[in-house]
């Protein structure tokens, strides 16, 4: 009997350490395997990456260690049911953390050991933890403020606006704010960035007055704002930029209940909330506008996926980036032209993914709306301004983008 158990144990052990090899062989032999094992997948929507391929074995790559790193990545990436493994691993860690949180009386706790994200149990949402403030952060933001101020001073012909995106990862209204010591919060950003922008840039403050309002405005599992909140903020921005102008007329505010998703914070925090999110959008009445993306003409539906969602044409993977799928992804330069706009002026939005919801709204007010993403654009802003005429400039970026070296460098000199 002992012998039998030992042989069985040996087989279990072989199955455990041989799981990768067995899966790989089955795949190579085209043996049908359950889809959940994900052996056919070359991309993970959960991680937002393409799985590593087996590296090319060369002497140079072996000597440098590149080949070995590539093999390590390949083996780890191609492990059967990798997405499930990642989530399960985070889940058991989170259960231990949750026990501690309950003992210490915390409602908000990290999603796994070492995570930058926290699970807010009462609100059932996943939020980014605020960054601790330090001397390096102060330097980064003040240097960035100098760059934006200089830009505005070089272009007195432009009316410059900076919308302060109040978001969970940098707001005094975040549930993690009062749990932290000095952090990169709204007050920090005001002191070390917005207050230093000078008079040439008009700062537009966000409207979220407390934690509940902030939570209401943002997705529970994504760092972006939902369509309803974004529309309200668009109206506020418009009022600052074009006092008295009529915002784009809302036809309907829809919640796409048929398409559930777990957004960026859920994916990065490896934490699936009890209730997934749904895209919320305010559909507006704007006559056909023309869209060009990176110089290529595109159908206007590219900026808003309501048509596809109506037909149920959505990405099959449950971890698809629905925000980008619905509102559009990030591109270097988008141009939206509306000949029926309220004015013949042109607007340059220098933004990140936060502008993806609102850019088409501004097409109701401006004949031409340029959307420039410093992370993807091939021109600097200076080079852009030499080619295109712009009346108003709106900076619409979160605090993880606008102070970066890349964003600052793209402002040009």
Q: Binding residue for another protein (CB under 8 A) from 49, 92, 139, 339? A: 92
Among 52, 179, 254, 379, binds another protein (CB under 8 A): 179
* Closest by Cα among 336, 202, 217 to 282: 217
Q: Is 100 in the site for another protein (CB under 8 A)?
A: yes
How far, in Å, CA of 164 to CA of 154, rounded?
22
Nearer to another protein, 6 or 406 (CB): 6
Distance CA 7, CA 247 (A): 74
Structure tokens at 147: 């760059």
- Which pairing describes strands 296-298 and 290-293: parallel, antiparallel, or unpaired? antiparallel
Distance of CA 245 to the CA centre of its chain: 30
The answer to whether 323 touches 358, Cβ cutoff 8 Å, is no
Residue linked to tokens 């830009």: 151
- Stretch near another protein under the rule CB under 8 A, chosen from 84-92, 230-238, 251-259, 294-302: 84-92
User: What sign does the dihedral 228-234-236-242 (CA atoms) show?
Assistant: negative
Number of Cβ within a 10 Å radius of residue 172: 18
Residue from 49, 132, 210, 251 touching another protein (CB under 8 A): that is 132
Region from 11-19, 143-151, 158-166, 288-296 binding another protein, contact rule CB under 8 A: 11-19
Please provide residue 97's backbone torsions phi and psi, each rounded to the nearest 5 degrees: -65, -40
Per the document, the length of the chain is: 413
| Residue closest to 49 by CA, chosen among 72, 66, 73, 26 | 73
Q: Does 72 bind another protein (CB under 8 A)?
A: yes
Mark 20-49 with x for binding to another protein (rule: CB under 8 A) and - for no binding. xx----------------------------
Handedness of CA 338, 339, 343, 346 (dihedral sign): positive
Q: Does 76 bind another protein (CB under 8 A)?
A: yes
Least distance in Å: CB of 86 to another protein? Answer: 5
Cβ proximity to another protein, 36 vs 409, nearer residue: 36
| Interface residue with another protein, options 51, 106, 331, 388 (CB under 8 A) | 106
3-state secondary structure of 43: strand
Q: Which of residues 31, 88, 209, 299 is near another protein by CB under 8 A? A: 88
Please tell me whether residue 103 binds another protein under the rule CB under 8 A: yes
Listed in order, strand segments (DSSP E) in 67-145 are 108-110, 117-120, 125-128
Q: Which is nearer to another protein, 112 or 225 (CB)?
A: 112
Per rule CB under 8 A, is residue 287 in the interface with another protein?
no
Q: Does 90 bind another protein (CB under 8 A)?
A: yes
> Would you say 111 or 338 has its CB closer to another protein?
111
Q: What residue ranges bind another protein (CB under 8 A)?
A: 1-3, 5-7, 9-10, 12-14, 16-21, 62-63, 65, 68, 71-72, 75-76, 79, 82, 85-86, 88-90, 92-93, 96-97, 99-101, 103-104, 106, 108-110, 113-114, 132, 176, 179-182
């Amino acid at each position: 009997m002992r012998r039998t158990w030992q042989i069985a144990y040996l087989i279990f052990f072989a199955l455990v350490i041989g799981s990768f090899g067995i899966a790989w062989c089955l795949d190579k032999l085209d043996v049908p395997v359950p889809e959940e094992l994900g052996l056919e997948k070359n991309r993970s929507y959960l991680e937002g990456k393409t799985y590593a391929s087996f590296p090319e074995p060369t002497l140079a790559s072996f000597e440098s260690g590149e080949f070995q790193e590539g093999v390590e990545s390949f083996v780890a990436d191609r492990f059967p049911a990798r997405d499930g493994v990642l989530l399960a691993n985070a889940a058991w860690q989170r259960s231990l953390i949750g026990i501690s949180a309950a003992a210490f009386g915390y409602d908000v706790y990290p999603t796994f050991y070492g995570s930058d994200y926290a699970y807010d149990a009462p609100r059932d949402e996943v939020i980014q933890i605020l960054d601790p403030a330090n001397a390096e952060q102060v330097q980064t933001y003040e240097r960035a403020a100098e760059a934006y101020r200089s830009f505005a001073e070089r272009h007195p012909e432009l009316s410059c606006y900076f919308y302060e995106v109040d978001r969970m990862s940098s707001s005094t209204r975040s549930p993690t704010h009062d749990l932290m010591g000095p952090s990169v919060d709204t007050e920090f950003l005001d002191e070390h960035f917005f207050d230093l922008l000078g008079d040439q840039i008009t700062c537009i403050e966000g409207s979220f007055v407390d934690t509940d309002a902030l939570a209401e405005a943002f997705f529970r599992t994504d760092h972006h704002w939902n369509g309803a909140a974004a529309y309200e903020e668009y109206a506020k921005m418009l009022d600052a930029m074009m006092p008295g102008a009529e915002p784009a007329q809302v036809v309907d505010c829809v919640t796409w209940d048929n398409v559930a998703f777990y957004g960026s914070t859920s994916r990065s925090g490896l934490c699936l909330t009890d209730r997934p999110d749904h895209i919320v959008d305010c559909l507006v009445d704007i006559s056909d506008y023309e869209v060009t993306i990176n110089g290529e003409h595109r159908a206007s539906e590219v900026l808003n996926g309501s048509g596809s969602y109506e037909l149920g044409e959505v990405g099959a993977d449950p971890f698809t980036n629905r925000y980008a799928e619905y509102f559009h992804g990030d591109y270097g330069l988008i141009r939206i032209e509306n000949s029926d706009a309220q004015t013949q002026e042109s607007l340059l939005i220098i933004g990140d993914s936060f502008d993806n919801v609102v850019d088409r709204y501004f097409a109701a007010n401006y004949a031409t709306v340029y959307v420039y993403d410093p992370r993807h654009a091939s021109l600097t802003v200076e080079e852009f301004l030499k080619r295109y005429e712009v009346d108003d400039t709106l900076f619409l970026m979160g605090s993880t983008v606008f102070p970066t070296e890349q964003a600052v460098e793209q402002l040009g000199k």
